[in-house]
Amino acid sequence: MADGVLQDKVVLVNGAGRGIGAEIAKLAAREGAKVVVNDLGAAVDGKSDADIGPAQQVVADIEAEGGEAVVNGGDISKWDDAQEMVQQAVDTFGQIDGVVNVAGILRDVIFHKMTEDDWDSVINVHLNGYYNVARAAAEHFRKQESGAMVHFTSTSGLVGNVGQANYAAAKLGIVGLSQSIALDMQRFGVRSNIVSPSAFTRMIETIPIKGPEGEARRKRQEAMTPQKIAAPTVYLLSDLASEVTGQIFYVRSNEIMLMSKNRPVRTVHRSDGWTPQKIHEHAMLAFKPHFLANDRSADYFVWDPV
């Protein structure tokens, strides 16, 4: 554990009972961090009763390797729980230096059949929950003039997917949240970055397989393990990444991609102003060659992972 890139740092990882979050928590500990392992322990859809058993197992795994960790079973979608888990880090280990927002649920359904509860449940965990934890940590980061946040998004938001309007909206909202944190808190030495993971987890396992293309895609996904996501995340928490903030990284197996942000692609103007007809005849003709296709993420990322 000694001389790791997170030596003497304290990190809170939510959604760390299984999958990607668990691997991040364990690698952070191997790299010298003291870790608060948060997990509500609910099912993928967020409907089942809480079970902190998986988070307790992650803590046991960390301690078995000589690391330090504690369990937290709070619900990140609740303001008070988010405050308490950050305070637990400070009370237990004396400080907090990093936050990883990776917890999530799915309620996949085609848009015209999506219920209010389907929408609210996903937004509450992903967007409101990430805000709650980041906001709780921000007070400590501001006072100590240091800190790193890593928030998880998805290509469902960055590119697109079918039947995930709630999830895509939340995940793209997280990109805006991270960018705002990076801008607002850079004066205090606080960094905020995004990771979009591609790995086979129990969330991915719930997505139905349709036809030969779906089978092939599932085989590719199964080869992409959660462990591959841990190293880039831990790097972003470390002082090695002191000059990296406000960025979006897509991680797929051994590939790391820097994703673009929304910026102008093409500009047109008329000195005499616009009418709807002129927009159709002039602006759209100029813009059309630059339109991006309405791809699903599976349509775009078609090559096998490295």
Domain ranges across the chain:
10-261
Q: What is the pLDDT of residue 1?
A: 46
Report the catalytic residues. 167
Q: What is the pLDDT of residue 204?
A: 53
Q: How confident is the model at residue 301 (pLDDT cuts 50, 70, 90)?
A: confident
- Residues 50-78, mean pLDDT to the nearest whole number: 95
Architecture of 10-261 per CATH?
A: 3-Layer(aba) Sandwich (3.40)
Work out whether strand 248-252 and strand 10-14 pair parallel, antiparallel, or are unpaired: unpaired
- Residues 88-104, mean pLDDT to the nearest whole number: 98
Q: What is the pLDDT of residue 296?
A: 87
CA distances from 242 to 3, 183, 189, 246, 290 (A): 18, 15, 9, 12, 35
More confidently predicted of 298 and 240: 240
Q: CA neighbours within 13 Å on the CB side: how many for 235?
A: 14
CA torsion 190-194-197-202 (nearest 10°) is 70
In whole numbers, what is the pLDDT of the chain averaged over residues? Answer: 92
State yes or no: pLDDT of 160 exceeds 60: yes
More confidently predicted of 74 and 214: 74
The structure tokens listed for 263 are 């910026």
- 20-50 residue pLDDT tens: 999 999 999 999 999 999 999 876 655 666 6
- Residues 207-227, mean pLDDT to the nearest whole number: 68
Question: What are the two backbone dihedrals, phi and then psi, of residue 149, each rounded to the nearest 5 degrees?
Answer: -125, 140
Q: What is the pLDDT of residue 51?
A: 83
| High-pLDDT (> 90) share of the chain, % | 81
Closest of 180, 93, 68 to residue 134, by C-alpha: 180
Work out whether strand 255-258 and strand 248-252 pair parallel, antiparallel, or are unpaired: antiparallel
